[in-house]
Amino acid sequence: MTEPTWQQQAPAGPPAPPGPPPATADDARWAGPTARAEHIVGGQAQQPAPQYAGPQHSAPQHAAPQHAPQHAPEHAGPGASFVPSVQLRESLATLRAEVGKAVVGQDAAVTGLVIALLCRGHVLLEGVPGVAKTLLVRTLSTALALDTKRVQFTPDLMPGDVTGSLVYDARTAEFSFREGPVFTNLLLADEINRTPPKTQASLLEAMEERQVSVDGTPRPLPDPFLVIATQNPVEYEGTYPLPEAQLDRFLLKLTLPLPERDQEVEVLRRHAAGFDPRDLAGAGVRPVTDAAELARARAEVARVQLSPEVLGYAVDVCRATRQSPSLSLGVSPRGATALLATSRAWAWLSGRGYVTPDDVKALAHPTLRHRVQLRAEAELEGVTAESVLDTVLAAVPVPR
The runs of H, that is alpha helices, within 30-158 are 86-99, 107-119, 133-143
- Residue 357: the pLDDT is 96
pLDDT for res 392: 95
Pure H helices in the chain: 25-29, 86-99, 107-119, 133-143, 159-163, 197-209, 244-247, 261-272, 291-301, 308-322, 333-349, 357-368, 376-380, 385-395
What is the per-residue pLDDT for 75? 57
Q: Are strands 373-374 and 327-329 parallel, antiparallel or unpaired?
A: antiparallel
> Nearest CA to 143 among 99, 108, 187?
99
Spatial CA neighbour of 180 closest among 191, 193, 164, 202: 164
Give me the pLDDT at residue 130, please: 87
pLDDT by residue for the chain (400 residues), tens only, comes to 444 444 333 344 433 333 433 344 444 445 454 433 332 223 333 333 333 333 333 333 333 344 444 345 555 555 456 788 898 998 888 888 899 899 998 888 888 999 999 999 999 999 888 888 889 999 999 999 999 999 999 999 999 999 998 898 888 888 888 899 999 999 999 999 898 988 988 888 899 899 998 888 899 999 999 999 998 877 777 788 888 888 999 999 998 888 899 999 999 999 999 999 889 988 889 999 889 999 999 999 999 999 999 999 999 999 999 999 999 999 999 999 999 999 999 999 999 999 999 999 999 999 999 999 999 999 999 999 999 999 999 999 999 8
Q: Rounded CA gap, 296 and 70, in Å?
A: 27
Q: What is the pTM of this model?
A: 0.78
Instruction: Tell me which amino acid residue 54 is.
Output: G
Q: What is the CA radius of gyration of the chain?
A: 21
- pLDDT of 232: 82
CA distance 203 to 123: 13
Residues paired with residue 275 on neighbouring β-strands, in sequence order: none
pLDDT at position 47 is 37
Give me the pLDDT at residue 74, please.
56
Rounded Cα distance between 16 and 37, Å, is: 13
Can you tell me the distance from the alpha carbon of 128 to that of 71, in angstroms, rounded to the nearest whole number? 44
**What Cα–Cα distance (Å) separates residue 5 from each residue in 1, 32, 154, 392?**
13, 7, 38, 18
Per-residue confidence (pLDDT) for residue 49, from 0 to 100: 34
SS3 helix, strand, coil % of the chain, rounded to 5? 40, 15, 45
